[in-house]
Structure formats: C-alpha cells, structure tokens
Chain A
C-alpha cells in the first residue's frame, strides 16, 4: 500500500515509517504540519493516509480539517485519523460526510502493531476502524435516546464491536459466545433500530455509524 503520514512528532513519525516499511508498505510522503497536508494528499493520492488530528501551526485540529476538506475533493480517500484524545466532536465531523474508508484511533493503539495494521488495511479497503473509546463516547451520547436504550447490555457490546469494524467471528471470540448467538444479537439490534438486515460486514458498520452520527 502507498501510505501518507501526517504527524508532527518526529519520534512517532519515524516509528510509523519504520513499522510500515518493515511490513512492506510504501510511505509515499510524510507531512509535519497542517498547511502542507491538503496539497500533499491531493498530489500523492495515497491508498490510505495516517493523519494526526493536532498539527502545527495552531496545534488544534488542522489535521482533521485538512482530511475533511480532502475527502470533499476525493470522496473515496481512505483516512485513518490518530489522536491522543478521543473527542466526540472530531468523530462526528469525520463521519459527517461518509463512513467508508474512515478510521479514528487513539495513538496508543499503534503499539498493538498487528491490530493497527489490520485497522489500516480495513480502512484502505473502504471499511471503518473506530477506537473503542470513540464508540463508547458516541454510545454514551446516545444512551438517553429511545432506540439505543432499548438494546440489552449484550446487544450494546455487539453493536460497539460492530462499529469498531469487527466481523461476526471476531465478535463471537471476543465476547466468548457462539457465532450464531452473535448473528441473533445483530438481527435483534437491526430489528430494534428499524434497519434492513445487511448483507456484508462493511455495510453493516456503515449502518451502525450512520445511526451513531445521526
């Protein structure tokens, strides 16, 4: 994969380049500030971009804003956003356009190299990778609303894992239940949320996220 990295911290940037190169990916460009990010994205058109939310010059959310702008011009540009904090507003903005090819992970997750690489691949393929923290914040926000509050505890867990981008088999493993139970839970969730039963994992996540950002 051709990957663009936008990260202002040299240690992390080099670490990411090392990790991705050693996994056989090509890092086509690195950017260390918000101003250069959008031109670089448009120029290199990477298979996936790894972007820090907070970049110079203002150290606020220029990474995120550049990504949102870039995805307006290249709707299918897959982007994995990294942040040291989970900010619900960031996730909502990110998902406001389209939930395909979007990831939002805490920086901490890069330590779990395997999972990080999987998440990156998922995003590059047009899927999603949402940090459990992000999901739980989004869920908390929705907890007072009717449709979600009708879910059982187990169904919430399943929904959260679905939103992270897990497939049924993984969810079953993670929750120590049979895959058939997972299927049943998912059926219940969509019934309760008034959604047509989806056919693919990807579309299923889209549905969940569409609901979450509503």
Chain B
C-alpha cells in the first residue's frame, strides 16, 4: 500500500520555469547542453550517440503510436464536448478528463526520463490541503494545456516519427540493395534512386546507406529532444500558475509547521511541568520534612535524605531527557553521522547503517535540519522496535550541501499508516516544516521503507 504522499509530491511545475532557488527543490537535473556535447572528444561523441540511440529511437517510435492514440482520445473528448450540448456529456466529462490527465502523466514521466528532469504540473483539484472531490475540470489551466498538448503531440509526434522512420528505412534500403541484387539477380530495388546491378554500384549503395545510418543515429536523439522539449513546454504550467501553486503549497506547509511548533512547545511545557518542576517541588517537600524531623525524629533523617537525593536525581534525569528532545547534545558535539550511529547502536532491532563517507567528513547541515533528520531516524527506529516485528533494519543516510536524504527500511510486517499513532504524521509535519518530503511504503506483510528528504542550505 503506497501512502498518500504521492499527492503531496507530484504537484509543482517543471524545473525550467521556476527561478533558481526553487529549481533545486523541484529536483530538476538539466540534460547536457549542445555546447557541452560539442566539447566532447569524437570517440566519446560516437559512444554517447550509440548508447543513446536505443532509448531515443524507442521514444520517437512510440511517438507515432501514442500520437495517433492521442488524436483518438482528442476525438473522444470532442464527442463528449458535443454531448455536453445535450446534457449527457457533463456526466462523462470528468471521467474523460481523468483519462486525459493519466495519459498526460504517463508522458510527463517519459519526457522526464529522456530529459533527465522532473516534469510536473499543478492540477488544481490535486492541491495538498484541498478538501472535496478531486475532479479534473476544464476551468483548470493545467487541464486545458493538456488538451493543447494532446493535439500537438498527435500531429508533431506522428510527423517526427514518420520522418525518423523514413531515414531509417532509407538506410536499410541502401544497405540492403546489394543483397537484393545478389539474391534476386538483377531485380530492381525501386525504392532507392539507383539500380544496383554491379559491384561498384553496390559499394556506392552501401556507402550511401552507411551515411543514412549515421544521420539516423545522430538525428534520432535530436528528434527525440525536440519532441521532448516541446512536450515539456506543453505539459508544464506557466511560471505564474506554478508559482501560485507553490505559494499555496507553502501556505499549507507553513500552517503545518506552526502546528508542529505548537505541539512541540506544549510537549516541552508538559515535560517541564510534570518532570523537572514537579521533581524539584518533591525534593523541596522532602527537605521540609527533613527539617521538621531533625527536631522530632532524628533517627529517620538519613533515610529521608536518601529519598530526597533520589528525587533530585530523577528531576535531573528528566531535565536531561527534555534537553535531548529539544536538541540532542550528541548532535552538537559529534554531528549527525555519529549521532545516528549512536541511535542505531541503541535500537532494539539489529540495524545496519549506510553512510557515504567517501568524501571525507560529511558537511555539517544547519542545526535545525540536523535535529529534524535525527528525530526522523529516531522516530523511525522507535516505530521499528515497537511495531514492526522486524529482525533487521537499515538506515541509509546521505548528507549533501543542499539536502539530507534518509531511508529507513525494515523487514517487518509492514502495514504502517499515518493514523495508527505511529508518530508518522508528526514526523511528516516536522519534515514539511523544512519543505522536505516524506514517503512511506508499507504494504501489509512488509517490508516498510521510509524515505525522507530534508532540504538545507540556501
């Protein structure tokens, strides 16, 4: 069972359209530019072209199929529109638009894979924190843009694919011409412009065929990129829309951050009230009794002093516990990696730890982000010990200059949800306060995987 986190995540604009600061948050990785490709050595260029040919060719070939299917879908939508005139279309419209959206989402993933970036668009009805039915509507600019994409993709995608097919076909025809000459003994290959009926003509045909093949190899990626860039442009919202969505999203996370902060303040107040403060009052009470006993029952005094001291130690212990909950001293002293090591060592379930230290000492993230990461892991390990029934667990941690990435896995019975008092909701809010993401995968029967990313740095 995949948690609802997908709706939290999939909803903002493509990296390109949004400013520098949000680009990192949006996780966009830019494909190498033409200028960068030109700097490559020739043999590297050849290798890259060959390596990239199959995915590019696959992409372009699929464009014909999906483009034609898209035109069919567009026709269907047009029929539903027409039905709206007589009323029945209104019943079918949301369902049809949902199909359109799903179709567009599939292509966002395809385009994203090719461009090595994330292509997202904000659908109004999928905004986080939105209540009511999640129904796509034509009033949503994202849906309207999807429609535009559907038509464009149908026409341009099919045309590009046919063009690519013709180049490949030409290469095949020229290359195979000598074979036809030899096998079919002089039968004219009518597709190519030359009658191959001698060895010199065969060499020329093969030469031209190789030329076509090279052009096909080199052009395929170009064609794919042209189509993908066009699709990305059509499949992502305009910057204004994406930013408006981002603002709404930040408002939601800010409200959640305030809630988390509020809950944290209450917890600290409660802990102080019930722990240290009550403990010190109890010590004071005992001291008062000791003072009275000194005159009346001096023989009881040593025992009472012991009790008072015990109470004082308990109060200190509770203070120590509280401080650890606010900002673990081990974080301040040793940093996140060592703190996490200490956590896993204390975990009730044998836990392996995977921290990348190839780059030497991990960079220090801001204290608040480190603390959040620490509590995420701590909470996850507590859950594993308490609820999962796991025999082993793994903590995977990467600290980069721009984000802390965490993955905690166990081989337990799974089925973890946000509502089962597992603290995952609080954890998600804590992470959301940093504009981070939380994903929980916990199918019944396990295994459970918790992925958290906490952005840090500027």
* Residues of A participating in the B interface, judged by any CB pair closer than 8 Å: 8-9, 11-12, 15-16, 18-19, 22, 54, 59, 84, 107-108, 110-114, 116
Q: Is the CB of B291 within 8 A of A113?
A: yes
Q: Are the CB atoms of B278 and A9 closer together than 8 Å? A: yes
B274 to A: closest C-beta gap in Å: 6
Query: Which residue of A is nearest B292, CB measured?
Result: A113
Could you tell me if B278 and A110 are in contact, using CB atoms closer than 8 angstroms?
no
Q: Are B284 and A12 in contact (CB-based, < 8 A)?
A: no
List 20 extra interface pairs beyond A11-B278, A113-B288, CB under 8 A.
A9-B274, A9-B278, A12-B282, A12-B285, A15-B282, A15-B289, A19-B285, A19-B289, A22-B289, A22-B293, A59-B270, A84-B281, A110-B281, A111-B284, A111-B287, A111-B288, A113-B289, A114-B288, A114-B292, A116-B288
Counting chain B CB atoms within 10 Å of each CB, the highest count among A12, A15, A84 belongs to A15
A-B residue pairs in contact (CB < 8 Å), sample of 29: A11-B314, A12-B278, A12-B282, A12-B285, A15-B282, A16-B285, A19-B288, A19-B289, A22-B289, A22-B292, A84-B277, A107-B277, A107-B278, A107-B281, A108-B284, A110-B281, A110-B284, A110-B288, A111-B283, A111-B284, A111-B285, A111-B287, A111-B288, A112-B288, A113-B288, A113-B291, A114-B288, A114-B292, A116-B288
B311 at the interface (CB under 8 A from A): yes
Binary contact readout B263-281 vs A (1 if CB under 8 angstroms, 0 otherwise): 0000000100110011101
B286 an interface residue at 8 Å Cβ cutoff? yes
For A107, the chain B residues whose CB sits under 8 A away are: 277-278, 281
Q: How long is the Cα–Cα vector from A63 to B284 in the complex, in angstroms?
A: 23
A54 touches B278 (CB 8 A): no
Q: Which residues of B are found within 8 Å of A108, using beta-carbon distances? A: 281, 284
Contacts of B274 in A (CB 8 A): 8-9
Chain A contacts for B291, CB-based, 8 A: 113
Report how far A9 CA is from B284 CA in the complex, Å.
Answer: 15
CB distance from A116 to the nearest CB of B (A): 7
Give A114 to B274 CA distance when docked, in angstroms.
25
Distance in angstroms from B173 CB to nearest chain A CB is 84
Alpha-carbon distance between A140 and B287 when the two chains are bound, in angstroms: 32
Residue of A nearest to B270 (CB): A59
Contact of B273 among A22, A84, A114, A116 (CB under 8 A): A84
Q: Is the CB of A11 within 8 A of B279?
A: yes
* In the complex, chain A residues whose CB is within 8 Å of the CB of B278: 9, 11-12, 84, 107
> Which A residues touch B292, using CB under 8 A?
22, 113-114
Residues of A within 8 A of B284 (CB): 108, 110-111
Which of chain B's residues have a CB closer than 8 A to the CB of A9?
A: 274, 278, 282
Proximity string of chain B (349-389) to chain A, C-beta cutoff 8 Å, 1 when within and 0 when not:
00000000000000000000000000000000000000000
Assess A12 versus B281: contact at CB under 8 Å? Given A54-B273, A84-B273. Answer: yes
- Tell me if B273 and A15 are in contact (CB < 8 A): no
Q: 1/0 per position for B295-307, CB-CB distance to A under 8 A?
A: 0010000000000
Q: Cβ of A84: which chain B residues have Cβ within 8 Å of it?
A: 273, 277-278, 281
* Cα of A8 to Cα of B270 in the assembled complex, Å: 13
Q: In the complex the two chains form, is B282's CB within 8 Å of A11's CB?
A: yes
0/1 string, B427-447, CB within 8 A of A gives 1: 000000000000000000000
Q: From residue B440, how far is it (CB to closest CB) to chain A in Å? A: 30
**A210 to B198 alpha-carbon distance, docked (Å):** 125
Question: B238-272: which have CB < 8 Å to A?
Answer: 270
A113 and B285 contacting across the interface, CB-CB below 8 Å = yes
By Cβ-Cβ distance, the 5 closest A-B pairs, closest first, are A111-B284, A113-B288, A11-B282, A15-B285, A9-B278
Neighbouring A residues of B273 by C-beta, 8 Å: 54, 84
CA separation between A110 and B287, bound complex, in Å? 10
The chain A residue sitting closest to B283, CB to CB, is A111
Q: Which residues of A contact B283 (CB under 8 A)?
A: 111
A77 to B270, CA, bound (A): 30
Residues of B close to A113: CB separation below 8 A: 285, 288-289, 291-292
- Provide the residues of chain B in CB contact with A12, threshold 8 Å: 278, 281-282, 285
How far is A111 from B286 in the complex, measured between Cα atoms in Å?
Answer: 7
Q: In the complex, how many angstroms separate the beta carbon of B303 from the nearest chain A beta carbon?
A: 11
Expressed in whole angstroms, the minimum distance between the Cβ of B269 and any Cβ of chain A is 10
Q: Which residue of A11, A19, A59, A112 is within 8 Å of B311 (Cβ)?
A: A11
